[in-house]
Structure 1
Amino acid sequence: MAEDKSPKFNTDAPYTLSESQISAILTIAADAIIALDETFRITLFNDGAAAIFGYAPAEILGHPLDILIPERMRTNHHHHVAEFSASPVAARKMGERQEIFARRKDGSEFPADASIAKQMIGGHKTYMVVLRDVTDRKRAEAALAAANSELEARVADRTKALEAEIRRREEAHAALIQAQRMEAFGQLTGGVAHDFNNLLTIITGNLELLSGQSGNGSTSAYLKRAADAADMGASLTKRLLTFARRRHLTPQILDVNLLILNLTEIMRRSLGEHIALTTLLDGNVWRTRVDPSELENAILNLAINARDAMPTGGSLVIETRNVSDAETSLPTKGDFIMISVGDTGCGMSPEVLEHAFEPFFTTKETGRGTGLGLSTLYGFAEQSGGHATILSAPGQGTTVNLYLPRSDEGLAAETSLAETIPLSEDSEVVLVVEDNPEVRELTLQRVEGLGYVAREAENGPAAIRSLEADPDIQIVLSDIVMAGGISGYDLAKWIGEHKPHVRVLLTTGYAPEETTQEPAADLPILRKPYKRIDLALALREAVRGRSGS
C-alpha cells in the first residue's frame, strides 16, 4: 500500500496568523484600520485609512485620534471612548446612539460606520478601530428617501385627485338622479295638469253659463265664489307646470308691488308666526315685462330659503325700488326694478356663497333641498334681461337682489266684461276639435253662445274628414293633445297645406310638445281653463285674419 505523503493538519491546535498574513490583510483592506495606544494616539494606519482620510501613514502616526474627528464632535467622542474603556465590553460598534462623522486631511467631513475593540498587550491597553466611509450609501439612502417622499406625495396627490373624481362622479350621479326625479315629476305634473285643466274648463264654463241664467243675488255670490276657487286652481296648475319646467314663459307688463302684496298672505302662512315679514315698496316703482308666475316662484323660493335660515325666528324684509346702471355694477346697462329679499338668518360662508347660484348645489340636508331654487332664479333673471346678486356673511343674514329691466309699456286696461265680449258678426262656422266629450259639449255651447255656428269633431282624423266635406268651415278651434294619432299641431300643418284659407286657434291644458318646440307665431294658443271673454277675443282675432295657418 502506498504511503500517504500529503501534509498533515492538526485540527485540534489553535490556528494563528503570521505577521506577513496580518500585514497583507491590513494592506488590502478597503476600510480604514487604525490602532491606538492607551493614550489614544495612532500607532497603525493602513492603506485603506490613508485612502479615506488623505493622510500618509508617516503624517499621522503618533498623532492623537482627535485629528480624525470633527471639532464639534470631539467632546462627545471623548465621553463615549472613556465610557467604553472603563466598561467590561471588549468590542462595540460606534455610533449606535447617533450618526458619526469623520474628518479628512482637507477638513471635509463624511459619514462613517466604525467599530472599536480593546485588548491588553504586554500589560498595556490598546485599541483597534475599523472605519468605513458610507458617503455613497448615505447618498443612496437620501436619494431613496427623496424618491419615497416624492412617490408618497404623488400617491397622495393621485389619491386626492381620485377622491375628488369620486366625489365629482357621486355628485354628478346624484344630480342625474335628481334630474331624473324632476323629469318624472314634470311628466306626472304635465299629465295631471292636462286632465285637471280640462276639469277646470268644464267647471268654469258651466259656472259662466249658470251665472248668465241666475238672477238671484245669493246664488250669484255662490257662483262667484266657486269661479274664484276655479281660478285659484288654474293658477296653482300653472305654478306646478312652471316649477316642473313644463310650460313656456309668457311675459307681460307687471306692477311688481301689486304682485308682492298679493303674495304676502301666502308668504305669512309659509313663514310661520316666529318670522316677521315687512314690505318696503317704492310707490313710484317702474313697470317690468316678465312672466308673473316665474316672478312669484322666485319670491316664494327666496322666502322659503329665508325661513329655513331662521329656524328660531327672525325678520324678512322685501323691498322694491328703482335703480339705474350708474348705481349698480351690473353687467347690463339700463334702468331696473330691484326686488330685494333680506333675512336675519345664519348667512353663508364665502365658500357656500361662491356656489350658491350653481344648479343642484344645496346646503340643506338630504331630502329637503333640490339645489334648484337659486339657480332657477338666476336663470329667470338672465332670461328676462336682468340679473341677480347675493350679499351674505356668516351670522349676518342674506340678501338676494333681483334686478328686472324697466318697461315703459303701460298696464293692460281692465274693462267691464259686459262691454268687451265681442260676438260673431257674420255667424262664422267654427269646427270644435276635442277628444274629451264633456269639454267638447261645453265648448260647443260657448261658441254658439257667442253667435258662431258650431261643428264638432272628436279627434284629428275626424276633423280632416269634416274639413274635406264641409267647405263652409272658416275657423278650427282644436285641442293640442288628442287621441287618434294626430295632434293639434299636426292638424294645423295639414290645414296650412290643404285648406290655407281656414284659420286655426289651438287650445290646451298642457302640451308636451311645448317643452321641445316653440309654437309658431301664427298659431295662437288659448290655455285652459279660459274664460268666455278669452274665447271671444281669440275667435275675433281669428276672424279678422290675425292668425293664419
Structure 2
Amino acid sequence: MSIRTFLLLLVLAVWLPAVAGFSLLARSTYLREAEDVRQDIERFAQSLNSLVEGQLDKRVAIATTLSASRTLQDDQLARFHDEASAAVKGSGNWVVLVDRQRQRLNTRVPFQGFEPRDRGEAPFVTEAPKVFFSARGLLTQEPVLVAYAPLLDGTSARYNVGVSFSPSVVQSLIEKATPLNSLASVLNDQHFIIARNRDPLKWVGRQASEEIQRRAKAGVGSFGETVTLDGVPSLTYVSPANRHGWNVVLALPQEALAQSARRLTAQTLAAAGALLLIGLGLAIFVARRIGKPIVTLRESAVQLGRDEVPAAFTTGVFELDEVSRALELAGRRSHEATLTLQKEVQLAVNDARAAQTALLEGQKREAIGRLTGGLAHDFNNLLQTISTGLHVVDRQTAADVPHRRFLEAAMRATGKAADLVKQMMTFGRAQPLKPQPVNLPNFVLQTQELTRKAVGERVQLTAEIEPGLPAVLVDPAQLELALLNLIFNARDAMPDGGAIRLTARLATPEESATLAGPRHVCLQVSDNGAGMSPETLERAFDPYFTTKPIGAGTGLGLAQVLAFARQSNGDARLESTAGEGTRVTLLLPITDQAEAVVTPEAASRHAGRTLRILMIEDDSLVSSVVVPALREAGHEVTHCASADQAKEVLGTHTDFDVLFTDVVMPGTLSGLDLVDWCRANVPAMAAVVATGYNTRQTRADVQELRKPYGLDDLIEALQRAVQERAPRQPG
C-alpha cells in the first residue's frame, strides 16, 4: 500500500467520525436552542403575568381602601364621590359605587348630574375583592375592567366599591415587551381574552379555545402544540394563574423552530464538505513532502546499524526533527528540573518562616492578652477599693469645702481608669461576653446622647441603616464601648472638624466568606480625617500601639474593637488612605431570637393606619435613623431642622396627622412653643414631644416620649396620639 493511499484512508477515517460529531453537535445545539426558547417563553410569560397581577393589585387595593371610608359607611355619597375622585385623579381610573340593582355614582360624572342606572345582572361581590370584565360599560359602552370590593354591613354586603379601568392598561404591557414573532394574550379567570398583541380589537372579549381553557384550568404552567385563533400552528405556553386567576398565553410559530433546524443542518453540511476538501488537500501535500524525509531516515538507520552516531538534521518533518533534538531536549529539561526543584525548596523555606513568624506573633499576643487580663483583674479590685473610699468621703464632705474639686477630680480619674480596665479585660478575654439580640436602629437612638457628646460640636455624625435589618447577637455594653472607641478615634483624626458616617447593612457573601455562620451584619464607621500611612495601618490593631501624644491615648481602642468582634464570632477590618480618611468595618453575627420573642403587645405597636408625620429634629444622627425607619413602617414623613422651619411648612400645608418634635430647638421657638402655636392654628393635628429633660409642663393633650426611646415606642406613641385626637363619632 502506497503512502498516498494510506493517507487518503486516514483522512476518511478522521472525516467520517467528524461528520458524525458535527451531526450530533447540530442536534444538541438545536435541542439546546429549543430548550432555551421554552425557558425564555416561560420566563417572559410568568414575568408578564406578574406585571398584570401588579396592575390588578393596585386597583384592588384602591377599591379596598375606599370601601373602608367612613363617609361611605355613613352614606355621605357626595363626600365619598370627592374622596374617590381625589384617590384616582390623574391615574386613568374611575370609581363606581353600586348596590345589587343600580350604579349609584361614577367619578367620571359629577355627583349632582349623575342618575343611578340599572345594572341588570352585573356581578356583585359579598366577600373578597374581585376583578371582572365587561364587554360594555354602563357609561362608556366600551370594554371595561372593574375591581370590586364589598362594604360589609353586618354579615351582608351593602355596597360594592369598584375601581374601573380600560383593558388598554393590560394591552400596553403586552405591546411593550412581547418577544419578536410571538403571540401573547392575557386571559381573565373566565378565560376571556383581555389583551392580545395581534389584532386586539378583533379578539378582545372572546373566549380562548377549548384546549387553552383546559390547560388554564389545570393550574400549572404547560407547553403544547396548538393552532392559534389566527390559524397559525404554534408551540404554546399557558402560565399558571396569578392571584386573581388570570393567565398569560404565549405562542411561538412552529415555523420559527423549523428555520433554526434548517439553519443548523446547512451549517453541518457546509462544515463537513469543507473538512473533507481540506483533508484531501493535506493528504496530497504530505504525500509529496514525505518521500525525501523517509529516504533520509533510512540512511540514518543504516548509520545506526554501523554503530555510528548520526548527525542531527532538519527535515521539516516534526517527528524526525524531534528525534535529532532528543538529547538536547533531555539536557534542557534536566536543567529546568533542577531550577524548579531549587525554587520549590525556596518557597517551602519561605512558607515555613512565615508560619513560624505567625506562630510567634500569635504566642506573643496570647501572652500579652493573659498578662493584660491578669493585670486588669488586679487593677479592677484596687480601683473598686479606691472608688468605694472616694464615694464614702464624698458623702461626708460638704459641697462648699475648698478642696472638694480635688476629690471630684479623683473620682473622675477613677471612672476613666475603670473604663481603661474594661478595655484591657476585653482585649485579654478576662471578661466573658453576655451576648443578646440587639436591634441596631434602636441601639443607635438609645446611645445617641453618648455619641453626640463624644463627637463634640465641630463634627457632624450621621447614620444610614438599611431598612429591615435583622438583630445582631452581641454584648450590648461591649458594642457600645467599641462604637465609642471608633467614634473617639474618628473625632481625634479631625481636630478642625469633619463628618463621621455610621452605616449598617447586610454583609455580602464575599465579606463574610471566612466567618462562621451563614449571615452577618456589616457595621461601618467612616470619617474624612487625616487617614493613616501604610506603616500605621499595618500596626493599628496591635495592643498598646498609638500615634497619639503621651497621655492622650492608651493604644487599646482598636485592640478592644478587634477582640470584641472576634469573640462575638465576627471580625473587624480597617481601610485608610492618608489625607482621605478611615473606615472601620465590624462584621457581627445575625440572630433570629428577636423575632422569636415578640409579644402580642409589641406586635401590635405597628398596628394602625398610615400617618402623615411632621417631624422636627435638629440632631442629624437622630433624624438620619428615625426618618427612614418611619418611612419603612409605611408612614409619610416631612422633616424640619427647627420649629421655625416647621411653622413655615404649616403655613402652607396643614394636612398632617401628627406633629413629632424635640423640646429643645434652635431658633426662636422651642418644641413646646410650636405645639402651643399648632393648638391655636391647626387644632385637629395630634402632637408628640420627645424630651430627656424638660423644665416646662407638657400640655395634658400632648403625648410625651422620654429619651432615649425605641422605634417601637415612637410608633406606638404616634398612633396613640392620633387615635386620642380623632373626633368622637356619634354612637
Q: With structure 1 as the length reference, what TM-score do the two structures score?
A: 0.35
For the pair shown, the structure with the greater C-alpha radius of gyration is: 1
